[in-house]
Structure 1
C-alpha cells in the first residue's frame, strides 16, 4: 500500500516542476541556473545496457509522470492488498520516480537538501495544559486522538506550524552562522538543539513555555509572527552556545541603528545578530507593489528566510524563481526527534528526518501577507553591506532604516496604501502584567541545566486548541501585540 499512499500524496501535494528555463533560481542569497544537468556521457559500447535511459527533460518528466499517475490510478480501483499487486496492464505498480526532482538542476536540489527542515512531530514529552486555556473540539483533535488526553499535548499537529516555521528559520540561521555541512558533527550538534524535549534549548516545549510567559499564548494555541519572534529572541539570549542574538524590528519594517547596536554590542563588541521583521504586506494578499521587495529579502547575502506567508497556516520560504516562491511545509507529522546529549549518536534516519529534497512552490499572489522575515548579520561589515543594499534597492520598500528610535510613538511609517502594519515592535514593550493562570498550582519547574538564570521550562497544563481557529488567532496576533512582554 506504500505505492498507493505515495500516489495519493502526489495528487494532493504535487511536486513543483521546472518549466521556466530562463528565470534564475534563488535560494537564500545564492543564484542558480534553471537549466537541468546535461545527460551523463554514454558508457562504452562494450558495457552499454540493452536500453539506455532517456535523458530527463521537462517534457519527458511530465510525460512519464502522467503515465505513472494513469497506471497508479488504474491500480487504485483494484483495491490492491500488497504493493506487488499487478495493475490492469499486468505490470507491477511503479515506485513514484524522481523524474520531477530531476527536472531541477542538481546543485539547486542539493542546496535544498542541505537545509534543516522542522515539521510537526508526534509522541514527544508532554506539554501540560493550562487550567484556563482554550478547549476546542475539532477534527484535528479527533484525528490525532488527543480529546481524551486531559493532561496535555504530545503532538503539535494542528497548532504548531508557526513554531516549526520559526524553528526552521532559526535552525538555518545557525547553520549559516556556524558554516556547517550536511551530515557533519557540527550539524548534528545544531540538530540536537531543536530536539522535541525540554532539555533542548530550541525545542517546541521551550517555545510554548516562553510563548505563554511572554505573550500569553496557551499551549495548543496557534502562534503568530510576533510570538514566534519573541520566543526566538528569548531562547537565543538564554542559550549562549548558539552565539546568536536577536533584534526585533519596529513597526512597519522599521530598523533603528541605535537599538540594533545596543542588542548586537556595537562596533567594539559586535556579536552575530538575527534581525527579525514582522510585516503585513496587504490585507488578504501581498500588495503587488511589494513583490519585488519580497524577492529582495531572499536574494541578499544576509537572507535566512521567511516564516508565515500561507493563508491559515505557516510555511518557511527560502527562495524564488520569477513569481514562484519555494518553501518547506511543516504540516507533515514525523515521530518526535529525541534529545541526545551525545549528539554524534544521532542515527542516519533521525538526521534524515530534518532534511528534504522535495521542491514545493507557490505563486506570490497566493501568499498570505502576514510574515516574519529574517536577516543574519554576522559582523559590522555585514551590517554596513545590508544597510547599503536596503537603501539602494530600486523599488517600493517596506524596510526602513533610521539612525535612532523615536522616544514616543511607534506608529506606522508607511503612508496611505500601507498595510505594513504588523507592529511587532510592541512585543518589546515592558509590562508588569502576569499571564492569566500563572499561579503556583499551575506550574512545576523542570530544570534544563546548571545555568543560574531562567534557562529552564516550567511545566504547564494546556488546553486542546482548534485548527479552525488558527486564522482568527493569527489575525488577533497581528493586531494585538500588547500581550507580549519582556
Structure 2
C-alpha cells in the first residue's frame, strides 16, 4: 500500500532527462579511476558493502556501481537562509546532519527500490529514486532538508549552526518522520520506550488505529546509539562492528572521528569505508527535467582505520517486514550479541526492562551520546 501512495504523489518533475553522452562520459571517467586500482583490489581479503560481500576476483565495475549508487549528501552553500535570517550554508557544522540524511536515504532506497538497485543511465528516470532525492532538497518545505533538521534541532537544545551528535540527529529524524505521512516509515531508537516500536508514524493524528498503535507491520528503521569507549574507540569492539556491517539489513552507521562526521557503509579488511560530507557544493535550486544529479553521487571509497573511529556512533538496520525484524534479531544474537561476551555491543531483551527499579543516578538521558543501550 505504501508504494501505491508514494507513486500517486509523483509528478513529471521527477523524470529528469539527462543526455546519454554526458552520462557515458562520466561513467567512462569513473571506470578509468577504478582500473588504476586493479592491483589494490586483487590484494583485498574481506570487503563488505551494506551487507553484500565482494569475493575474489572482485568485479570492479559492479563494485563501482554499488558505491556510486549511494546518495551522497555534502555541505551546500547558497540555499535560503535557515529561519529567515540564519546561515545560507552548513559548511563547518552540518556534517552529522548530512550523514543522517545519507543513512535515511539508504533506508528509503532499500524499501522503495531494493538492495539490487543501481544508479546508472538506464534507471535515472525511476520515479521512486527522484521522490527519495526530493525528500532531502535544501529547501524548507522538503521533509528532511537541512532547514527542517536545523529547526527541529532547536527543540532538542541545539542552536542553528551547532554540531549534532549521532544520537541527536537520530532523535531529530525520528521526530520529522512522525510528521511525514507519505513514507509510512516507523522509526525506533533503541533508547526509546519499547512500546514506541508499535506506534504508527501518523500517531499524532491517526484515526485508523486505536491510540496510535498499528495492527499491521510498517517498515522499520532501527537505530542503536552506542558509545564504544571513553575518549577513544575500544578496538575490542571491532569484530562486532564488522559483523553488523555484514548483516543484510544494515544501512550502515553514522559516526566519524573527533570533530568530523562520516557515513560508514562497509569495511575493507581492517578499515571502515565511508562517505565524506565535507565537500561544499553549490545549492541545487530545484529538480527540473534537465537536472544532472551527479553531485549527489561519488565513486570515491574513503577509508578509516577502526582505531581512529570516535567512540560515539549509531548503527542502523531496516526491516521491511516483521519477518525481517525477527531474522535480524536472530542474526544479532548469533553473530554480534553472545551470552557471556564482555565485548557485546549491546544487550537484547525479550521484554521491556524494568526501568522503574533504576535509581536516580542510574537514569538514562535520551539526548546523550554516551549511553549503553538495550534493544
CA distance in 2, matches of 1:223, 1:34: 39
- Equivalent residue number for residue 46 of structure 2: 24
Q: Distance in 2 between matches of 1:369 and 1:18?
A: 29
Contact 1:302–1:375 at 8 Å: present in 2 too?
Answer: yes
- TM-score normalised according to structure 2 size: 0.76
Q: TM-score of the superposition, structure 1-length normalised?
A: 0.59
1:179 positional shift: 1.2
Matched, 1:249 2:217: no
Q: How does 1:302-451 map to 2 (within 5 A)?
A: 302-340=249-287, 345=289, 347-348=291-292, 351-393=293-335, 396-408=343-355, 426-427=366-367
Q: Aligned pair in 2 of structure 1 residues 153, 22: CA closer, same or farther (>3 Å)?
A: closer
Per the alignment, residue 79 of structure 2 pairs with: 124
Q: 2:160 aligns with which of 212, 219, 243?
A: 219
Structure 1 residue 235: Cα displacement: 1.3
Per-residue deviation, 1:28: 0.6
* Structure 1, unpaired ranges of 5+: 1-9, 38-104, 130-150, 413-420, 428-476, 481-486
Cα pair 1:258 1:403 within 8 Å, conserved: no
Structure 2 partner of 1:176: 110
Cα distance in 2 for residues equivalent to 1:263 and 1:338? 33
Structure-1 residue corresponding to 2:136: 194
Matched, 1:478 2:360: no
Contact 2:273 2:304 in 1 (8 A): yes
Asked if structure 2 preserves the Cα contact closer than 8 Å seen for 1:246 and 1:263, the reply is: no
Contact 1:25/1:34, CA 8 A, preserved across alignment: no
How many angstroms apart in 2 are the aligned matches of 1:360 and 1:292?
Answer: 20
* 1:165 to 1:294, Cα distance in 2 relative to 1, 3 A: same
SS at match of 1:401: coil
Distance 2:144 2:303 in 1: 27
In the TM superposition, what are the counterparts of 1:46-65 in structure 2 within 5 Å? none
Larger Rg: 1
Ranges in structure 2 where 5+ consecutive residues have no aligned partner: 1-32, 202-211
Q: 1:128 to 1:212 in 2, by over 3 A?
A: same
Q: Does the 8 Å CA contact 1:162/1:314 hold for their aligned counterparts?
A: yes
Greater than 3 Å deviation, 4+ residue runs: 34-37, 255-259, 261-268, 409-412
- Secondary structure at the aligned position of 1:241 is classed as coil
1:7-34 CA distance string (max 9 Å, x none): xxx9xxxx99836625121011111125
Count of matched residue positions in the alignment of Structure 1 and Structure 2: 311
